[in-house]
Structure 1
Amino acid sequence: MDLPVMPPVRPMLAKSVKGVPREEGWSFEPKWDGFRCLVFKDGDEVELTSRNTKPLTRYFPEIVAAAREQLPERCVLDGELFVAVGSRLEFEVLQERIHPADSRVRLLAEETPAGYVAFDLLALGDEAYADRPFSERRAAMEQSLVGLDGPCHLTRTTTDPAEAEEWFEQFEGAGLDGVIAKPLAATYQPNARTMLKIKHERTADVVLAGYREHKTSTPERPLLGSLLLGLYDGGKLQHIGVSASFTEKRRAELIEELQPLVCPLGEHPWGEWTEFLVANPGRVPGTQSRWSQGKDLSFVPLRPERVLEVKYDHMEGRRFRHTAHFKRWRTDRDPESCGYEQLEEPVGYELGRILSGGAS
């Protein structure tokens, strides 16, 4: 492989902002919920690399084949791998595609095939594009990637903030994560937060069910690492995620404050889960999966008597997609009243309508 831009390359990143910028000079596009992936193609040679420059090629043979057939002869693209089930993106199903057994990889490539959506250009033919403004990179993509109808796609864009705000409201129903804003005049800057991301933000009242100690915790100075959160469903307390953003001072205060709630695991609603050797579909505390091999997943069980309000952005199945942010204690709420029915459900939207939208 001999391209104007060669791996490893760390992709350009985004910083969170509250809303869609209204001033001129921005290009907006959907924020895809998948694996960030750079595609390097030189003839029949195709390499896929992750956000952290790790190889993804062996896990997605169907995308390698599609890149050979659909993409320009020599190119370097930045984009996202995704798996759709019906009309929605499903991140949990995408995660299952990373498997050590080649036979399993081949089977999953047929059963849950991935797609690839390109949203930036680093090289085309013998020319590097990273030093060119995004307006030029986008124009070159529209010319060279015309007619893609899957599994490779070109993301749609708009320069209209009002349309971007409509996408923000509508596209979550297809499993997308928000909206990305790119400065039209900016060059491609690897590993720099040049873009903006506007993500959904919601709150929920959840039950405190346990905690894990911080990696720097010692017997002399115990520190809380994360709070384990739950919601009731059919009378059972289900694990929904964690909250972990605290100062060192607050970590020390919290671990002391919560000691009166510590209980034996056998008396805890999650005690029955200790029999699992691998994570069950709810990814419950204390269980292992190929994503957590070697990590200490033990936790300190707490009597589920306290309720807290957290801020979260996105759901992944039955749990928070990312770490939730602590807002406040809710002493006015009974734990048993905290269920899934309080969570906001996005209005459904067809993924195919987004992928076929093209440029605006």
Structure 2
Amino acid sequence: MTAPGQRDRASLHYPVEPMTAATTRELPVAAAWAYEPKWDGWRCLAWIRPGRVQLQTRSGKPIGVQFPDITRALRATLPPGVVVDGELVVWDDARERSSFSLLQRRAAAGRHVLQLARQHPAHYVIFDVLATADASWLPAPLTERRALLEDLLAGAPTSLVLCPHTTDPAVAREWLDTWTTTGIEGIVAKRVDQPYRVGRGGWQKLRARTSAEAIIGGVTGWITAPRTILVGQFDTRGRLRFTGRSTPLTETQRAELAPLLHRPVAQRQGLRMEHPWPQPLPSSWTGSWQTRTAQRYTQVEPDTVAELLVDTAFEHGRYRHPVQHIRVRRDISVYDVPILGIDE
């Protein structure tokens, strides 16, 4: 295989913004497209240097110190000068799926990093190559970059995973239907003739989603003009547990919800009775690993059920990504909402 040329290699500097994917509602099925699973992990680019490896997140944050098992494997497998793109994941043997919370624990391990690396080893799922020692592969089409990547990862250890790849949309749909229980979030579609566009879009991602019911326990904004809803489910002890927050509501949804929402009965009667959730919601409930801000909200009587569109990122009783409100379920009671199988 002939390298695309050296003219761009000198301009590729650490860190680099990776190519991105825009959300789509339909999987493109033309002959020019290929498909890969969307992993529930952290986007990570790896730079192989003489004697060392640098890892960076999508935002450019260095994370090599937190993942010595991955830097060691990369240093032993790939030659200096190689730059690859992929996703860091940690497998939860007990749940038989990837675990975002274990990945966060690895990143926050501090002086216990080696201990956690032994207890919860990471895997690096690699799906693209940006450069080798003497050439930039950014201008090359995906088909050529993929062939190079397969050569580079031949005989790699199990911690370095060549991302599954297909040009058959039926196979991609099968992944979407059957692999989500292992933590796959959806499918990323890529044009086979497209170069790698640093810091720009060009790929498409289709998330695996399903409908679910939950109880509205609060809103952001005002009861008369809610901006988002905060939802929960009863646990096995009968406590209403916070499970997630919605994306911004449409004007139609606001108009439908406003007449149904009320302050808790005790508050309306001037009594001191606590809402099931604290005010504000703790940052550990609502924040991502990058955002740690407590959420102030308006408490409402938890007597209204919402139908939601949710993805597969549900862990420890909460949706990690915002859910989408579809409609109010006036036909069912809050006691018809499925019980969360947790009681701690």
Q: In structure 2, what is the Cα distance between the partners aligned to 1:208 and 1:117?
A: 38
Establish whether residue 129 from structure 1 lines up as the match of residue 99 from structure 2.
no
RMSD: 3.0
**Runs of at least 4 residues off by over 6 Å:** 248-257
How far 1:278 sits from its partner (Å)? 7.9
One-letter code aligned to 1:309: E
Residues 33 and 89 in structure 1, CA contact (< 8 A), matched pair in contact too: yes
Alignment of 1:129-208 (within 5 A): 129-208=137-216
How high is the TM-score relative to the length of structure 1? 0.80
Alignment of 1:217-296 (within 5 A): 224-234=226-236, 235-247=238-250, 258-261=261-264, 264=267, 266-271=273-278, 279=284, 283=285, 292-293=291-292, 295-296=293-294
> Structure 1 residues 223 and 177, CA, compared in 2 at 3 Å: closer, same or farther?
same
One-letter code aligned to 2:116: L
Q: Report the equivalent of 1:85.
A: 92
How far 1:12 sits from its partner (Å)? 1.1
Residues 185 and 313 in structure 2, CA contact (< 8 A), matched pair in contact too: no
Task: Give 3-state SS (helix, strand or coil) of 1:268's partner.
Answer: coil
Q: In structure 1, what is the Cα distance between the partners aligned to 2:307 and 2:149?
A: 44
Gaps of 5+ in 1: 343-360
Residues 253 and 327 in structure 2, CA contact (< 8 A), matched pair in contact too: no
> Structure 1 residues 195 and 278, CA, compared in 2 at 3 Å: closer, same or farther?
closer
Q: Report the equivalent of 2:5.
A: none
Residues 4 and 123 in structure 1, CA contact (< 8 A), matched pair in contact too: no
Match of 1:7 among 2, 9, 14: 14
Residues 39 and 46 in structure 1, CA contact (< 8 A), matched pair in contact too: yes
Q: In structure 1, what is the Cα distance between the partners aligned to 2:251 and 2:133?
A: 51
Establish whether residue 310 from structure 1 lines up as the match of residue 337 from structure 2.
no
Residues 30 and 156 in structure 1, CA contact (< 8 A), matched pair in contact too: yes
Q: In structure 1, what is the Cα distance between the partners aligned to 2:184 and 2:288?
A: 25
Q: In structure 1, what is the Cα distance between the partners aligned to 2:61 and 2:255?
A: 36
Establish whether residue 103 from structure 1 lines up as the match of residue 125 from structure 2.
no
One-letter code aligned to 1:98: A
Residues 283 and 295 in structure 2, CA contact (< 8 A), matched pair in contact too: no
One-letter code aligned to 2:332: R
How far 1:341 sits from its partner (Å)? 7.5
Identity in percent: 33
Match of 1:26 among 18, 33, 37: 33
Q: Report the equivalent of 2:330.
A: 331
Q: Report the equivalent of 1:209.
A: 217
> Structure 1 residues 263 and 31, CA, compared in 2 at 3 Å: closer, same or farther?
farther
How far 1:73 sits from its partner (Å)? 2.4
How high is the TM-score relative to the length of structure 2? 0.84
Residues 44 and 85 in structure 2, CA contact (< 8 A), matched pair in contact too: yes
